[in-house]
């Protein structure tokens, strides 16, 4: 009697094909994940205050370290929204009064600063005045709150007494835009970030010291006249506890490294000099050390340095930290922490024991069993021999040459992918896709020259960096090069449309979330903070109109060959839905029919509602199955 082989049904065999794998990380699971920030300490080191966001609402919580009890502080007026999950480590916008009795925080409800007891209850307005208020900082003596007020063509540092009925006093020069005020311990001086109001802050800015008693200001570092930046983001500076020194991050060496300025002598020096980028310097309470974050190799880790330059690695590994804070008793550091397989949580690091542990985190069943993968750092050559680094996520079980590829392009475009939590990327890997997240030229984390390489080349050489990454993976035999999809949000959405129109034979489909489509009309539609983004990249619009048109996806819509899914947010002010509508009109005029367009109600720049997140994943999955897997 002959043996017979076990029959495997066609349905089972079909489900084994990459892209069709049954996900264990489901849309419902992803939509239930909370996002956590770092924390602020109470003056007695007994409590931690942090922000949690879920389903389009952010709130401030208090954690008692003695018994781990948690109290929700905010209620009627929710806190400020956090950055989109997966885009960047989250920061918070609130400050604790020195006596620990009150919080001042930014509320999404009206864009204003509010005061609330640390026990919770009813919130009240910090101060009168028009416009939005942000970047809140309580003075060490508790008498004033510094913040940024923005209205019309004004974005200035202001101070107000925390009474609720007063009007703010403007501190900075309103001819410039200001950000991120930091108090000196005497409560009489502030240091803040300033840049040209007709430019973006990333390429030219300065640090300014303001004396509130005399009303005088002093420029500590001026990059405006030289076209230089002390650092590419505001807030990376901190006065010492005795007020004599200023720790700051400067990129004068080509890398954003930690420096010290002696405010009495005016002399500055490198404190840490290396081919990495530093951020968030915080002083120990006794003023003898600084903790800071180190961005290198797509990780953001915790370091410490003495005033003599002696460095110590505290929390090192393949993960991303943010929001450093030192406990008033000097024993602990807190920060948010996440990695490719672990959503953000609040961590406590014991400096005596040299060990850290998670204090918070949403215990969502199913995440640990979802088959999440660890990221891999890969490198390839872009145009002109520039080395490009990227984050690769691939299934544990590889079927060589059969996996569809999702080219996952970050926004900004001045931004960066790290080894951080990205539920969406993990979902596609869970389904059998390979995901590549390229840090193309212009990304942060690789020094000043790399970031500036995007000027005048955006929409061309960065696209070639991305395409070279696809070729690299094809050369490794990981992917099916005929099933490549470009995905991106914001600047990444623009990149997707630009790739599909400029290199139409390279892609099977595209998914553009809130992407720019018409660079000519964009400056007339965008919100004020990003008004001069394109001017910094391409020059003045009226003088470079042909370049604006040439780099606009609508101009080459007739060349597109791949189906495209275009998703926009109804209340998005950064990339308004009008940009999606213009792309749809261009596709219609070109006779294209294989596209889908959807606007999500009540969503801004990035999805925050549970119902939106679930719909987005399911809608995208159906689209890619139809146009990529089944064709």
- Reported as a single tens digit per residue, the pLDDT across 274-309 is 999 999 999 999 999 999 999 999 999 999 999 999
pTM of the model: 0.95
What pLDDT is stored for residue 1 in this prediction?
45
Flag whether pLDDT at 8 surpasses 80. no
DSSP string computed for 42-54: -TTSSEEEEEEEE
Flag whether pLDDT at 2 surpasses 60. no
Chain mean pLDDT for the chain: 94
Q: What is the mean pLDDT of residues 615-625?
A: 98
Locus of tokens 């082989």? 5
Flag whether pLDDT at 5 surpasses 80. no
For the beta carbon of residue 602, count every other beta carbon within 10 angstroms. Answer: 12
**Higher per-residue pLDDT: 86 or 427:** 427
Flag whether pLDDT at 97 surpasses 80. yes
Task: Enumerate the H helices of 431-460 as residue ranges.
Answer: 448-452
**Separation CA 343–CA 53 (nearest Å):** 12
**Separation CA 397–CA 99 (nearest Å):** 55
Residue 389 pairs with which residues in a beta bridge?
379, 439
What pLDDT is stored for residue 165 in this prediction?
77
Domains located in the chain, CATH noted: 18-28+367-629 (3.40.50.1820)
Flag whether pLDDT at 88 surpasses 90. no
- Reported as a single tens digit per residue, the pLDDT across 353-387 is 999 999 998 888 899 888 999 999 999 999 888 99
Sheet holding 564-569, edge to edge: 376-381, 387-393, 434-439, 403-409, 479-489, 509-513, 564-569, 595-600
Flag whether pLDDT at 83 surpasses 90. no
- Reported as a single tens digit per residue, the pLDDT across 507-520 is 999 999 999 999 99
Q: Are 446 and 396 in contact (CB under 8 A)?
A: no
Confidence bin at 348 (pLDDT 50/70/90): very high
Q: What is the mean pLDDT of residues 160-184?
A: 93
DSSP string computed for 191-234: EEEEEETTS-TTSS-EEEEEETTT--EEEEEE-TTTT--S-SST
* H or E element, residue 480: strand 479-489
What pLDDT is stored for residue 621 in this prediction?
98
- What residues have CB less than 8 Å from 345, skipping those under 6 apart? 36, 336, 337, 338, 358, 359, 360, 361
- Reported as a single tens digit per residue, the pLDDT across 14-72 is 678 999 999 999 999 999 999 999 999 999 999 999 999 999 999 999 999 999 999 99
């Amino acid at each position: 009697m002959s043996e017979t082989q076990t029959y495997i049904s066609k349905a089972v065999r079909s489900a084994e094909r990459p892209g069709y794998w049954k996900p264990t990380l489901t849309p419902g699971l992803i939509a239930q994940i909370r996002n956590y920030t770092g924390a602020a300490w109470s003056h007695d080191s007994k409590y931690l205050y942090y922000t949690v966001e879920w389903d389009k609402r952010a709130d401030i919580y208090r954690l008692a370290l003695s018994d781990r009890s948690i109290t929700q502080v905010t209620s009627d007026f929710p806190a400020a929204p956090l950055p989109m999950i997966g885009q960047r480590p989250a920061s918070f916008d609130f400050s604790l009064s020195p006596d620990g009795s009150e919080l001042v925080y930014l509320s999404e409800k009206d864009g204003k600063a509010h005061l609330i007891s640390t026990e919770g209850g009813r919130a009240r307005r910090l101060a009168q005045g028009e416009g939005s208020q942000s970047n809140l900082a309580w003075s060490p003596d508790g008498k004033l709150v510094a913040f940024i007020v923005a209205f019309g063509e004004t974005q200035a540092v202001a101070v107000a007494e925390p009474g609720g009925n007063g009007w703010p006093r403007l501190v900075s020069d309103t001819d410039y835009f200001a950000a991120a005020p930091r108090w000196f311990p005497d409560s009489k001086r502030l240091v803040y970030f300033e840049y040209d109001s007709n430019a973006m802050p990333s390429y030219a800015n300065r640090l300014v010291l303001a004396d509130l008693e005399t009303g005088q200001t002093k420029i500590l570092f001026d990059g405006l006249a030289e076209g230089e930046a002390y650092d590419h983001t505001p807030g990376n500076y901190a006065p010492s506890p005795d007020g004599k020194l200023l720790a700051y991050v400067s990129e004068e060496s080509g890398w954003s490294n930690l420096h010290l300025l002696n405010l009495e002598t005016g002399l500055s020096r490198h404190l840490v000099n290396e081919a990495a980028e530093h951020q968030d310097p915080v002083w120990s309470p006794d003023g003898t050390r600084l903790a800071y974050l180190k961005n290198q190799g797509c990780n953001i880790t915790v370091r410490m340095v003495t005033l003599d330059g002696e460095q110590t690695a505290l929390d090192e590994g393949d993960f991303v930290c943010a929001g450093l804070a030192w406990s008033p008793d000097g024993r602990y550091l807190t920060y948010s922490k996440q990695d490719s397989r672990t959503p953000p949580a609040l961590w406590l690091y014991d400096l005596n024991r040299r060990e850290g542990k998670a204090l918070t985190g949403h215990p969502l069943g199913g995440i640990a069993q979802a088959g999440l993968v660890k990221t891999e750092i890969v490198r390839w050559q872009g145009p002109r021999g520039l080395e490009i680094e990227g984050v690769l996520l691939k299934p544990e079980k590889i079927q060589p040459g059969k996996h569809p590829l999702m080219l996952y392009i970050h926004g900004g475009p001045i931004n960066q992918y790290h080894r951080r939590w990205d539920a969406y990327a993990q979902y596609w890997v869970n389904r059998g896709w390979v995901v590549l997240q390229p840090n193309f030229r212009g990304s942060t984390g690789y020094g000043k020259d790399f970031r500036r390489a995007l000027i005048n080349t955006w929409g061309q050489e960065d696209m070639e960096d991305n395409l070279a990454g696809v070729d690299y993976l094809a050369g490794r035999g990981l992917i099916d090069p005929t099933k490549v999809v470009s995905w991106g949000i914001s600047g990444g959405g623009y990149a997707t449309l630009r790739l599909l129109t400029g290199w139409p034979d390279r892609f099977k489909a595209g998914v553009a979330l809130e992407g720019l489509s018409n660079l000519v009309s964009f400056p007339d539609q965008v919100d004020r903070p990003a008004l001069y983004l394109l001017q910094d990249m391409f020059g003045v619009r009226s003088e470079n109109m042909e370049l604006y048109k040439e780099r606009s996806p609508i101009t080459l819509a007739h060349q597109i060959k791949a189906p495209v899914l275009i998703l926009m947010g109804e209340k998005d002010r950064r990339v308004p839905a009008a940009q999606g509508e213009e792309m749809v009109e261009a596709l219609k005029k070109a006779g294209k029919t294989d596209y889908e367009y959807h606007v999500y109600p009540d969503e801004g720049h990035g999805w925050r509602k549970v119902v939106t997140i679930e719909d987005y994943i399911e809608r995208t999955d159906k689209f890619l199955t139809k146009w990529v897997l089944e064709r």
